[in-house]
């Protein structure tokens, strides 16, 4: 399976609202309705509370930062990489392309799927009988890159066990 190309969003800065509408349609068609799984369990999504008329989970895939949800800003690089989400989930057993580990963040158990050659990560939260897609984002800081390198070596890979 080949990594999808970045979405061409040439008009993003001229008509961000239209681009986000196209992304949202892709999200609904290729992610929500695609019956994606990980470790033979379904992937589920956060729909509430809606944000700017979009599912909460979608909003987290295309935005970053902010102290509150309302403060989050749309990130062009996140938007371009939306097609990589189903690719990573369908290719998760490619150990050469995707590093994977489980860790804890607060009281939640998270699975990190790291497309390390492209500095992109997808985060799932383990729930009873399913995984919740939390977020996905490009890794842009050296600090995060070093943290991922370290975590990928010390935390267990759930695909191996």
| Among candidate residues 68, 97, 95, the one with its CA nearest the CA of residue 84 | 97
The pLDDT score that the predictor gives to residue 106 is: 83
Residue 24's H or E segment, with its range, is helix 16-26
Q: For 77-104, how does the pLDDT look when each residue is reduced to its tens digit (9 = 90+)?
A: 999 999 999 999 999 999 999 999 998 8
Average pLDDT of 10-28?
87
Mean pLDDT score across all residues of the chain: 92
Average pLDDT of 129-137?
96
Average pLDDT of 110-134?
96
E runs forming strands in the chain: 37-38, 41-44, 63-64, 73-74, 98-105, 108-115, 120-127, 130-138
The pLDDT score that the predictor gives to residue 83 is: 96
Residue 142's H or E segment, with its range, is helix 142-154
The better pLDDT of the pair 131, 67 is held by: 131
Q: Omega into 49 within 30° of 0, i.e. cis?
A: yes
Global pTM reads: 0.92
Q: Domain ranges in the chain?
A: 16-160
Cα separation of 35 and 19, whole Å?
24
The better pLDDT of the pair 106, 78 is held by: 78
The pLDDT score that the predictor gives to residue 70 is: 80
Q: For 27-55, how does the pLDDT look when each residue is reduced to its tens digit (9 = 90+)?
A: 999 999 999 999 999 999 998 877 778 89
For 5, residues 6+ apart whose C-beta sits below 8 A from its C-beta are: 83
The pLDDT score that the predictor gives to residue 68 is: 83
70 phi and psi angles, rounded to 5 deg: -65, -20
């Amino acid at each position: 399976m080949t990594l999808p190309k970045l979405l061409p969003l040439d008009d993003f800065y001229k008509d961000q609202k239209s681009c986000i509408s196209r992304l949202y349609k892709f999200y609904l068609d290729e992610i929500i309705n695609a019956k994606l799984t990980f470790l033979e369990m379904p992937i589920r999504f956060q729909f509430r509370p809606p944000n700017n008329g979009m599912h909460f989970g979608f909003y987290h895939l295309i935005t970053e930062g902010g102290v509150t949800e309302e403060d989050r800003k749309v990130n062009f690089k996140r938007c371009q990489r939306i097609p990589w989400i189903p690719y990573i989930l369908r290719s998760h057993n490619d150990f050469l392309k995707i590093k994977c580990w489980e860790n804890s963040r607060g009281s939640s158990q998270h699975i990190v799927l790291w497309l390390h050659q492209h500095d992109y990560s997808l985060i799932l939260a383990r729930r009873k009988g399913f995984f919740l897609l939390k977020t996905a984002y490009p890794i842009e800081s050296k600090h995060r890159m070093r943290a991922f390198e370290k975590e990928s070596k010390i935390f267990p890979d759930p695909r191996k066990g």
